[in-house]
Structure 1
Amino acid sequence: MEEWVGLKWHDYVTRQAMGEFPEYAVHLKDEARTLGVLFRAMGGDPALSLVTAEPRHFQIRRKFLQKLAGTHRKFELAWRDEESLRLPDRLALFPSRKVNRDLYLWLAALASRGEIQIHNWLEGNQAMVQDVLAQWPGLEPMYQRLVKHTLQWRPKPESLSGEEARREQAIRQALIHPGSVTDLPEALTDPWPVVLWLYPVLGRGKLNGQVIGDDNTSSKPGGLAKKRKRRRAERVDAFDKDQGLMLFRLENLFSWSEFIPVDRAGDDSEEDDADAVADDMDMISVSQDRREASSAIKFDLDLPSEENDDLHLGPGIHLPEWDWRRQGYREKFCCLQPLLSKESVATPLPERLKRPAQSLRRQFSALKPLRQWERRQLDGEELDLDACLERAVQHKRGIGEMDQKLFRQCKQNQRDLACLVLADISLSTDTYINNHQRVIDIARDGLTLLSEALTASRDPFALFAFSSRRRDHVRFHHIKSFDEPYNDTSRGRIEALEPGYYTRMGAAIRQSIKLLQTRPEHQKILLLLTDGKPNDLDLYEGRYGVEDTRMAVQEAHRAGLTPFCVTIDEEANEYLPYVFGSSNYVVIKDPTQLPAQLPKLYLNLTR
């Protein structure tokens, strides 16, 4: 009973102290698509990901109720860097859902102007506000409405004293009349957060002598509005698992501080409330203590020994890679290794796929080359009786010059196209869908059914798969080349595909471009099947991997190819329009439908 009363009391005090309006809350996940379109339409960098902002620590002057509830120590504020735009996960500051949503729109518009640096936080934000309002004057009423509500949310200058009051008055002046304030008075505490402005990247300096958002951990851009928060961390010496101190008073609030030894490199257990616990901790201590490693042996994704690996087809192919920071290629930076499976055996069409394969063969057989007679030719296999009859009539009537095209010839009506299918078989394909079928199993069925369909249409096609482990080992699995027939051997190689390592997508695309360029067909299609973003161990993640893949896709366009991406990644709408273009990709919402949808997508792509 006492615990129940305590929890209810805690919830009540926290709600009163927060000063928010939960009934009017707006969530980033619901507005992410609109914000992404607005940000890019207003000139924002299209390569930036839209993700949730991490809480920043502030040392502001708090009221008694806020101290009692432990609130107003951390705030989620908007900021951007070279890889992502970060916005609060939830906005409920104002007693209007429309105004809270307007705040999201305003922050996206402001962020389209650029990144804020620590040395010009005050002047930079005012300048960007002026720039936005000058270029988009229609936003002026929305901005004034947001300023009015923001001033009501902020502390009143008369409730503060000394330099804090003068600083608050200066911030209010800068909000009402952007560009009118050049300096803020210094004070012992941090300024109350300005929710209408952008903040510098976490961990880059101080505002008015106070550390704002000190953070030493790294960040990866994630999916659309997906929480991937950075934590404040410190390195400590090795500690004993029995260390720790619990301080509490049953009749009052309690606090605790305890070391929890977690093997970061080896522990992969799932904790449902791990994120919540991490959010509540002000500092996460990290040590290099490995004394417990003997209790569970963990291996990194190491390469198999040569005798157990697939057959290497040659010494490897060196390929360039695009470095977007340098804005140039790194020549011969990647080594792509063609492989042929040693474990594959000739396999007939699986029983489960026979019925859909038969339906697809019947549908695609209508696309195969047909022999058609071409009439009115200067020479050919036989006379064109209609043309001869028409000439005889013209001769009888004495009509001028006679038509000499009196023959007909039988020719093949050939579809002039070739397709290379490139499948991503990275480690993520080992995950299960609906707890009964792996992604790699679905991909194998999709490749098999598409191959059956293309065989019926007689379109030349090739099949390859790829994964990677750093830049010096990009694995390029040979399944079927253009010159090979599709038979039980090819089916066996598809069935032998297993999840590999990581996803260095750019190198695999560049090798596929080389193979397609050798084909004589007029239309050449590069069909990529994947389940996630490009990534690898050696910095090939985030924007670096996305930019390299985008450059490889542009190389394919310049080579006269048609690159098209089919993915089951739920977050693909965030980055694929930037990489492939808005009309050159498709997201399969239900991964189990990939085998059935793949041939249909090919039909729509080649008609």
Structure 2
Amino acid sequence: MEEAVGIRWHRLITRLAGDDFPRARVRLADEAPRLAMVFRALSGDPGLTIKASTERNINAWRPLAHRLAGSGRRHAVAWREVDALRVPEALAVFPQSELNRDLYLWLTAMASQSAACPEGDWLHSNQQLVLRTLAAYPGLNDTYYRLAQQLVELRRTRRLPPAQSARESALQCALLSPGSQPALPAAPGEPWPVPLWLYPLPESAPRLAGAANDEDDQPAPSAPGRVRQSRQRKQAQYVDDNQNRHGMMIFRLESLFSWSEFVPVDRCEDDSDDEDSDSIAEDLDYLSLSRSPSTSASRIKLDLDLPSAAEDDIPLTDGCLFPEWDWKQQRLRDNHCRVIPMLPRDAEPAPLPERLQPLARSLRQRFEGLRPQRVWEKRQPAGPLLDLQACLHFAADRRRGAASAQPALWKREAARHRDLACLVLADLSLSTEAWADNEHQVIDVIRDSLHLLGEALDAGHDDFAMYGFSSRRREHVRFNLIKNFAEPWGQAIHGRIRELKPGYYTRMGGAIRQATEILREKPAEQRLLLLLTDGKPNDLDVYEGRYGMEDTRQALLEARRAGIQPFCVTIDQQAADYLPYLFGQQRYQLIRQASELPGLLPKLYLLLTGRSI
């Protein structure tokens, strides 16, 4: 009974203390595609993405209802980072959903005119930013002042102490007349959050030196098959290990029974995985990182180590060195990345899987109709057969006295070739071990796609090659050979595809540069690089976030300058946030269902090469 009353009381007081409008709530997930397009249209940084922000502590004065409900301490605000614009995951500031959508639009427009680290104090910099945004985009004047007027009316309904009231009045004047307030009156605490303005970057927790978990070779703490990424960025802080073993221990000697009865068990740690750890992490305000050397990340590190030479794939060479683009310094770092060609060790020749044979027969029949046909070349100076039509024309011209001294009266049969080369590059990173559906993993879908695409291209007599890639830092980018341009398609290739396994991480730039070098040596008129992936570039070192994105984009630009047409096929549902920046608007294809990929690839190939059945 007490618990039921407590639950009802909590719901009542929380509803009474609420300042938002749940029925008019607008979510970032629904608005993100529109905002990304608007941000780039407003000449914003094309490499910047729009992500959900994390609630932060704001020490503002709270009314009695908020204090009873325990709310009003944390607020979701907007800020701009070096590689992302952070806005609230949902907005319910205004009673109309249209105004909340306009608020997302306004924050996006402000971010397009803002630097990652605004100069000056928060009040002055935001007023100047509003004026600069309105001057750059006069069409947003009505939108801004409508939002500002509505926000001021909502804020005026809040009763504040005298000191807080004077500061709030000045803040409202700054909203309605940007640039009119040089400073805010002094008052305890912070002002109530202003949803129309951008906030400084959140303060980072201090780092503690000598951490066992801070080594460069520390892998990402996520187990294979259970990769999960939160939409929000969590604030974290390092804490000291509570199992400090360097202090003085005081005990009674008679409590020490025997050395044999002492078992050094760390009872504060549990080796088992917490099934609710993801939901618990979402509810925490701060994530505390332990300094214990026996953390779960240390255990996972054993799973990510490279296999022994006896179990690993066969390296074909010591590897090739390629440059890498450092976007912060805006220069190429020469010989910075090593790409190692590798061949599956235990790949035995095998036939096409039986379950794929019906679809493969259908594809072969369709692509066989696209084989280069032999044609008769007429009016030739030499050949095995006479061209009767050319002979008649020559006889007529001779009667008129206009015959040629060297008549072309022969015809010969010749083959018409397509001058085309295609290289298929498959992402074999650790994320491909995830499940695409209830029966197949992503790596299974990639294998099926390579089987069927190879059958189709072989039936059409097209020149093609297949490779896979994964990475573990810049010194070890694995470039798996599946089929090169010189090898014939057959059971040996099917056996290699069958042995493909998830690797490590996705250092995309080095793999693209290696593929570019291979295609550069093919003297074809049309050269196509088809990339199959399930996520964005990443690796253990600095190759994460903006660094990996910019290096991949630079590698694709180098490929285009070499006369190669890159195209990406992905099953990443967030691909629209970054693939237009990397490949271009019309140079990628998002697959909603992974099971559609094997059947869609041949059709997509026909579209890219400008052919039809």
TM-score w.r.t. length of structure 1: 0.89
Instruction: Give the 5 Å matches for 1:69-84.
Output: 69-84=69-84
SS across alignment from 1:190: coil
2:335 match = 332
Please tell me the residue identity of whatever aligns with 1:83: D
Gaps of 5+ in 2: 209-213, 215-219, 221-226, 245-266
C-alpha distance in 2, partners of 1:378/1:139? 72
User: Which residue of structure 2 lines up, in the alignment, with residue 150 of structure 1?
Assistant: 151
How far has the Cα of 1:505 moved from its partner? 0.6
| Aligned counterpart, 1:246 | none
Are the equivalent residues in 2 in contact too, given 1:44–1:114 (CA < 8 A)? no
8 Å Cα contact 2:468-2:482 kept in structure 1: yes
State how 1:423-572 maps to structure 2 within 5 Å: 423-572=426-575
| Kept in 1: contact 2:79–2:198 (CA 8 A) | yes
Which residue identity lines up with residue 334 of structure 2 in the other structure?
E
Residues 61 and 323 of structure 1: is their aligned pair in 2 closer, same or farther, counting only changes over 3 Å? Answer: same
> Who is 2:14 aligned against?
14
Q: 1:158 to 1:315 in 2, by over 3 A?
A: closer
1:369 aligns with 2:372: yes
CA displacement 1:561-589 (0-9 Å, x = unmatched): 01111111111111111001111110111
Alpha-carbon offset, residue 234 of structure 1: 4.1
Distance 1:523 1:292, change over 3 A: closer
Q: Residue 467 of structure 1 contacts residue 503 of structure 1 at CA under 8 Å; is this kept in 2?
A: yes
Aligned 8 A contact 2:347 2:499 in 1: yes
Q: 1:103 to 1:540 in 2, by over 3 A?
A: same
The answer to whether the 8 Å contact 1:80/1:86 transfers is yes
2:250 matched residue in structure 1: none
* Alpha-carbon distance in structure 2 between the residues aligned to 1:168 and 1:552: 51
Secondary structure of residue in 1 paired with 2:135? helix
What is the alpha-carbon distance in structure 2 between the residues aligned to residue 391 and residue 226 of structure 1?
Answer: 80
Contact 2:370 2:460 in 1 (8 A): yes
Residues 338-353 of structure 1: matches in 2 within 5 Å? 338-353=341-356
Note the C-alpha offset of 1:296: 7.3
Instruction: Provide the C-alpha distance between the structure 1 equivalents of 2:470 and 2:486, rounded to a whole number of angstroms.
Output: 24
Go from structure 1 to structure 2 and tell me whether the alpha carbon gap of 1:82 and 1:23 turns closer, same or farther (over 3 Å shift).
same
What is the alpha-carbon root mean square deviation over aligned residues?
2.6
- Paired letter, 1:231: Q
Choose which of 266, 270, 276 in structure 2 pairs with 1:271.
Answer: 276
Aligned counterparts of 1:475 and 1:350: Cα–Cα separation in 2: 26
AA aligned opposite 1:413: R
Change (3 A) 1:568 1:279: closer
Task: Confirm or deny: 8 A CA contact 1:391 1:402 kept in the other structure.
Answer: no
Aligned pair count?
570
Describe the SS at the equivalent of 2:538: coil
Range that drifts further, 184-193 or 231-240: 231-240
Residues 362 and 79 of structure 1: CA distance in aligned 2, closer, same or farther (over 3 Å):
same
> How far does the alpha carbon of each residue in 1:266-322 deviate from its partner, in whole angstroms, 9 at most, with x for none?
7654317x44x4455444433223568799786240011112211110111111111
Q: 1:339 to 1:294 in 2, by over 3 A?
A: closer
SS in 2 for 1:433: coil
Tell me how far 1:5 sits from its aligned partner: 2.4
Q: Which residue of 2 aligns with 1:134?
A: 135
Q: Determine the structure 1 residue equivalent to 2:241.
A: 237
Shift in Å, 1:421: 0.7
How far apart, CA to CA, are the structure 2 residues paired with 1:370 and 1:450? 22
Change in CA separation of 1:592 and 1:307 when aligned onto 2, cut-off 3 Å: same
Change (3 A) 1:444 1:295: closer
**Which residue number corresponds to residue 117 of structure 1?**
118
Give 1:107 shift. 0.7
Distance 1:601 1:262, change over 3 A: farther
2:304 to 285, 301, 305: 301
Shift of 1:13: 1.1
Change (3 A) 1:267 1:335: farther
How far, CA to CA, are the matches of 1:595 and 1:284 in structure 2? Answer: 41
Query: Against the structure 1 CA distance between its residues 111 and 431, is the aligned structure 2 distance closer, same or farther, given a 3 Å change threshold?
Result: same
Summarize the alignment of residues 32-111 of structure 1 with structure 2, pairs less than 5 Å apart: 32-111=32-111
The 1-side partners of 2:284 and 2:595 are apart by: 40
* Structure 1 residues 3 and 81: alpha-carbon distance in aligned structure 2, compared to 1, 3 A threshold: same
Q: Is the 8 A contact 2:531 2:567 kept in 1?
A: yes
SS in structure 2 of the partner of residue 189 of structure 1: coil
Distance change (3 Å), C-alpha of 1:119 and 1:262: farther
CA distance in 2, matches of 1:267, 1:48: 38
- C-alpha spacing 1:226/1:575, structure 2 compared with 1 (3 Å): farther
Q: Percent identity of the aligned residues?
A: 47
Give the 3-state SS of the residue equivalent to 1:67 in structure 2: helix
Instruction: Give the corresponding residue for 2:581.
Output: 578
**Matching residue of 1:182:** 182
Which residue identity is paired with 2:43?
Answer: G
| Change in CA separation of 1:38 and 1:267 when aligned onto 2, cut-off 3 Å | farther
